[in-house]
Structure 1
Amino acid sequence: MFAALLFEGWTDHEVDAADTRSACTSPVPDAVARGGPVIGINQNGVQSASMPARTVALTFDGGPDPVWTPRLLDLLKKHRARATFFLLGSQAARHPDLVRRIRAEGHEIGSNTYTGAVLGETSSLRFSAELDLTQSVLAGTAALRTNLLRMPRTTSPDTLCGREWAAARRATAQGYVLVAADRASRRPAQGMVRQFSQTATAYRETEKLLRDPGVDRFTTVSAGARLTPYAQVSAVERWSGTALIRTAWLGRAFSQAMTWTLGAAGALGVLRLILLVHFARAHVRRLERSRPGAPWLREVTEPVTVLVPAYNEEAGIEATLRSLLASDYPRLQIVVIDDGSTDRTAELAEGVGDARVLVIRKANGGKAAALNTGLEYASHDILVMVDADTVFEPDAVHHLVQPLAHPAVGAVSGNTKVGNRRGLLAKWQHLEYCFGFNLDRRMFEVLECMTTVPGAIGAFRRDALTGVGGVSDDTLAEDTDLTMALWRAGWRVLYEESAVAWTEVPTSLRQLWRQRYRWCFGTIQAMWKHRGAVLETGVAGRFGRRGLTYLAIFQVALPLLAPVIDVFALYGVLFLDPLASATVWFAFMGVQLLCAGYALRLDGERVRTLWWMPFQLVVYRQLMYLVVIQSVVAVLLGSRLRWQIMKRSGTAAEQIGDPAPYKSVPMR
């Protein structure tokens, strides 16, 4: 796509070719100035020719034009006249049918270069391209290679002066015969080469000339000067010409399609930002009415079982458990499921030495199997699922379970924050968690279509879990799969922003890529698994039509288009209006910065973090887009992705201080 756009921009917008001539610094040789309009250079020097008396060679520059070329052809046919059409290669590639019609009706074809660039002002590369590309297009459309060349921005032979004469010598060295036009002082009865463009004025002048009684014959340049107009074309040249025509068509079609796509994608992007802010405000306004603390909702105080699946989590398991034991929620059972770890995870968990902690060892079977095993050992009807790299705030469990006071609520998502924010990559993820994930969750709650209760912090009713068959291992995003299953079973899923947990994010590109690839791959699997929700009624139908549609558009379709849109934005800067393109890009970035600032304020985070966002938009977002592309391709190809384990460093609690204070909690 980039190659097609680059070719389209380079040829159509003449990025390295002047469209005006510089002043002549030296005249043409006398042999040219005093000679005829048809000019060649061979071993005998400059040779020129003119049309015989009472003979006119009609020549038309530019085109083929879809409006005026057919009209001129009809006019010539009416008067049984022949003419020479000097075509632009770029236009010939756009209208190959007109090229073939010109040839079929007995007219002659010459080159007017590919884009009409001033040859004396172009680079060597552009000079060759202007001539060679035109020949390639003519070979692909009409199976010919012309020997005739009219240099753009030239008329009579004396205009081939200065730099144009140097360019003319280069062209004749390649075998071209140059065709200029006779001066205006020469009369048709004397014989002449007449030059026209393809416009309404040219049409009227041609019609008038064709009725001139002083002319006996209207012919082509080669017939009047007795030249060989064409060289033989090989099959390879015809094939390459056809390929060039198709490439040019692809570039034009892609450019036009991307203009509309860019507008639609930009509108959708702005619409998403507006929706996020609107529903975030609505979420804030309804907190007092819909959360525990309102007089009609009781406070939840029932005992809670916390399930902590762990595989090779020795770096962070102690901090996770001690943060849970330091919770101000009075009645907790903590079940650690060691899923076949090969490090000291189980030993460290047992070493905490608290009767509330139960460590279960099992063979490695994946996170879903570990959670289902933990469910068998759970003693209570309210369950909290926690990743083994997550550190809870003391009041997180209390806040997390309060929405379960409503009997229709089956699960609650907590507020996951980035704990290890050192380094650029971690800062970018911190912005993503606040601006992307948490704003999305606020909107999802208002629209009743929460798509994911994150594995880092989520609360569930036991009967809701057992009702959907526990945690499924059908996908690699078991948390998303489970959330969607709960909606389809008729349960509501809410978001509790005051239940805060600190998680550890990847600090290397390799680890980040593997994590997000798994997330995205699993999410697409879950979407496909629960696609039937779109057609269902009630709670499930609302989730399907809102949540799945949102994911499909904003987390799959737009990321797939994003790299292409970025390429087209670069195309706009290089070849279209750079100021307009840059203005649109910076305006969109400004809107995103405002929305991100609002998200940070809602989460109680420092707004100065926004300094890192422009770099995130340029670099980090591209990585996430590529992850989506790889995931979609992998799904379409039927690839099977294994569970990817992130290497932990035990730094999830950096933002709330050293986890050491949890170690001083009295053991019970």
Structure 2
Amino acid sequence: MAADGSTNDRRRGKSALFVVACGWAGLIPHWLDPAVRLLPATSMAVLLGGYSIYTVLLPALGRSRSGAAVPAEPGGGPLPCPLPPVDVVAAARDEQAVITRLVERIAALRYPAEQLRLWVVDDGSADRTPQLLAELQGRFPFLRVLRREPDAGGGKSGALNLALQHAEAPWMLVLDADADLQPDTLERLIPWAVAGGWGAVQLRKAVANAQANWLTRAQAMEMALDAVIQEGRLARGGVVELRGNGQLLRRDALQAAGGFNEATVTDDLDLSFRLLLHDQPTGILWDPPVREEAVLSLAALWRQRQRWAEGGLQRFFDYGPGLFFGRVNGRRRLDLLCFFLLQYAMPMVAMADLLGAALTLTAPTIWPLSFVAFGLSGCSILLGCRRGSEGPPLPRMAPWNLALGIVYLGHWFVVIPWTSLRMALLPKRLVWAKTLHLGESGLEETAVEDPAAA
């Protein structure tokens, strides 16, 4: 699916409608009678907070008492024998710092060699990535290299579609170039996915450089929070979203959904909804995780989160009618609506509420809902980081770490309004920005930057 001007124009109009609706929702309470001014936010806090407790906290508390995984490990059925072929796919643009490490890590996987292929798409690299891949092909027979010109278009989605044209295995594992897998990942993941009948499975993302500084530590807590929320949503019949790195896709499910969308800046979030619309179930695994690098600076975080916010809104604008008025069942519709309001609408309404407070010299009115949202997020961080996990240690839940995680999440109250306004007001030219990966040298240089990161 390629980008076109009409798609971008429709998104711009829907973005404007979203901004106006959230703006009025935040402003109107300031002109209501003081006795009922807090009623809208309090009502939403009760409804959304209650749903979040039912969806996220209760399943998480149940797991902490029982130690069970969600969804439950399939039992009783025989493992597939022989194990099915798997194509591991990575798009690489200027990844000289990590590409050798990625290939060596795939070579270390305990999976039948004849059933495993690694496809690396050199997506117009201007550094030494092409030379390194040529050398690696001589060492590792399972490595296949595809090349695209720098102006090929379609971003990461275009690169993945090229790999999809060549790969033939029934399963595709999509990785970022900085991904790190445990040696037993595939021999555990593939049988689990086959036995469960999943169309896609997302591995929990674990931050490899959580000890680098306070920002990477906060991102590690955010990833644990995200996995807890996703597991809870799935446990209650809701929706699991793919996260790009560490996503296993069944080839026929991917093809039924139309491949990777080249008209979006977040191929993973977009694909999550298209799989849902095609009734392809998506699961999530806490262990084994996929490790990746967190960004090291606020500037890099700002660029990354704008892209995530834009892609997240794009998919709702593109597929909203099908999701809310199509064949998606009522439980999933409710799940999507609640988390759309919490993730995207609430930050916009909160910003409009602050504007209304300044204009009318009245107190903010959205605080009951914000209080509930931050409180539930803190509880989810606490449950996630106290849970046993394979991979990098999760941040210790000392009071200052928990406070850091909660305050850090406030950045979404800036990112979402800014991105929404930009999408509504400015003509859109799709730009697929990549995250800089530093590899082992970058991790070593920053490992002692924050000695208080216990």
TM-score (ref. length: structure 2): 0.77
**1:337 paired residue number:** 121
CA change 1:611–1:400 in 2 (3 A) is farther
2:380 equivalent in structure 1: 595
Give the match for residue 424 of structure 1: 214
**Identity over aligned residues, as a percent?**
23
Structure 2: distance between partners of 1:587 and 1:328: 45
- Which residue number corresponds to residue 306 of structure 1? 88
* Local SS of the residue matching 1:602: coil
Return 489-498 or 554-563, whichever deviates more. Answer: 554-563
CA shift, 1:273, in A, is: 4.3
Structure 1 residue 645, shift from structure 2 partner: 2.0
Change (3 A) 1:251 1:465: closer
* Counterpart pick for 1:351 among 116, 124, 135: 135
Matched, 1:621 2:409: yes
Q: Distance in 2 between matches of 1:469 and 1:323?
A: 30
Instruction: Return the match for 2:323 from 529, 533, 536.
Output: 533
SS of 2:169 mapped into structure 1: coil
Match of 2:301, SS state, is helix
SS of 1:505's partner is: coil
- Give, in angstroms, the shift of residue 566 of structure 1: 7.5
Deviation at 1:264, TM superposition (A): 3.6
Secondary structure of 1:342's match?
coil
Cα distance in 1 between the residues matched to 2:441 and 2:292:
5
User: Which residue is equivalent to 2:103?
Assistant: 321
- Cα 1:288–1:568 shift into 2, 3 Å: closer
Query: 1:391-402 to 2 correspondence within 5 Å?
Result: 391-402=180-191
Distance in 1 (alpha carbons) for counterparts of 2:274 and 2:441: 30
1:279 maps to which residue? Answer: 59
User: Distance in 2 between the 1:418 and 1:278 partners?
Assistant: 26
Q: 1:153: which partner in 2?
A: none
Between the aligned partners of 1:517 and 1:635, the Cα distance in structure 2 is 11
Q: Distance in 2 between matches of 1:477 and 1:502?
A: 19
Aligned to 2:39: 260
Q: In 2, distance between residues paired with 1:335 and 1:476? A: 22
Q: 1:575 to 1:476 in 2, by over 3 A?
A: closer
Deviations 1:100-147, CA, capped at 9 Å, x for gaps: xxxxxxxxxxxxxxxxxxxxxxxxxxxxxxxxxxxxxxxxxxxxxxxx
Match status 1:559 vs 2:308 = no
Whole-angstrom distance in 2 between the partners of 1:251 and 1:601: 41
The 5 A counterparts of 1:640-659 are 640=428, 641-651=430-440
For residue 296 of structure 1, report the CA deviation from its aligned partner: 2.5
| Equivalent runs, 1:393-472 vs 2, <5 Å | 393-406=182-195, 408-421=197-210, 422-435=212-225, 437-472=226-261
Cα distance change, pair 596–522 in 1 and its aligned pair in 2 (3 A): same
Q: For residues 654 and 568 of structure 1, do their structure 2 counterparts lie closer, same or farther at Cα, with a shift above 3 Å needed?
A: farther
Contact 1:502 1:652 in 2 (8 A): no
> Which SS does the other structure have where 2:110 is aligned?
coil
Equivalent residue for 1:360? Answer: 146
Q: Contact 1:308/1:388 (CA < 8 Å) preserved in 2?
A: yes
Q: How far apart in 2 are the matches of 1:652 and 1:462? A: 36
Is the 1:520–1:628 Cα contact (8 Å) retained in structure 2?
Answer: yes
Contact kept in structure 2, 1:414 and 1:501, CA below 8 Å:
yes
Distance 1:336 1:584 in 2: 45
Q: How many Å apart are 1:653 and its aligned residue?
A: 9.9
Cα contact 1:502–1:653 (8 A) shared by 2: no
Aligned equivalents of 1:607, 1:566: Cα separation in 2:
34
SS at 1:372's partner residue? helix
Asked whether the equivalents of residues 304 and 332 of structure 1 are also in contact (C-alpha less than 8 Å), the reply is: yes
Using the alignment, how far apart are the partners of 2:301 and 2:314 within structure 1?
20
- Inter-CA distance 506–526: structure 2 relative to 1 (3 Å threshold): same
Which blocks of at least 5 consecutive residues in structure 2 are unaligned? 1-27, 448-454
Partner of residue 632, structure 1: 420
Q: 2: distance between equivalents of 1:273 and 1:329?
A: 40
Q: Is the 8 A contact 1:303 1:380 kept in 2?
A: yes
| Gap change, CA 1:281 and 1:652, over 3 Å in 2 | farther
- Quick one: higher RCO (CA 8 Å, sep 6+), 1 or 2? 2
Query: How far 1:599 sits from its partner (Å)?
Result: 1.3
What letter is aligned with 1:296? G
1:295 aligned to which of 63, 71, 76: 76
CA–CA separation in structure 1 for the residues paired with 2:409 and 2:357: 15
Which AA in structure 2 matches 1:356? Answer: F
Following the alignment from structure 1 to structure 2, what is the Cα–Cα distance between the partners of residues 289 and 584? Answer: 30
For the Cα contact (< 8 Å) 1:411–1:492, is it kept in 2?
yes
Contact kept in structure 2, 1:399 and 1:496, CA below 8 Å? no
1:603 Cα deviation (Å)?
4.9
1:519 to 1:587, Cα distance in 2 relative to 1, 3 A: closer
Q: Please report how far the alpha carbon of residue 463 of structure 1 lies from its aligned counterpart in structure 2 after TM superposition.
A: 1.0
Instruction: Work out the CA distance in 2 between the residues paired with 1:444 and 1:288.
Output: 10
8 Å CA contact 2:29, 2:38 repeated in 1? no
Q: Report if aligned partners of 2:378, 2:406 keep a CA contact under 8 Å in 1.
A: no
Q: For the aligned residues, what is the CA RMSD? A: 3.6
CA separation in 2, counterparts of 1:513 and 1:408? 38
Larger radius of gyration: 1
Structure 2 residue matching 1:607: 3-state secondary structure: coil
CA drift at 1:654:
5.5
CA distance in 1, matches of 2:224, 2:135: 35
Compute the displacement of 1:517 (Å): 0.7
C-alpha separation in 2, matches of 1:486 and 1:584: 31
Q: Quickly say closer, same or farther: Cα 1:265–1:419, change in 2 above 3 A.
A: farther
Give the conservation status (yes or no) of the 8 Å contact 2:71–2:284: no
Separation in structure 2 between the aligned mates of residue 260 and residue 575 of structure 1, nearest angstrom: 15
1:586 and 1:553, CA in 2 relative to 1: closer, same or farther beyond 3 A? closer
Q: Which residue of 2 aligns with 1:385?
A: 174
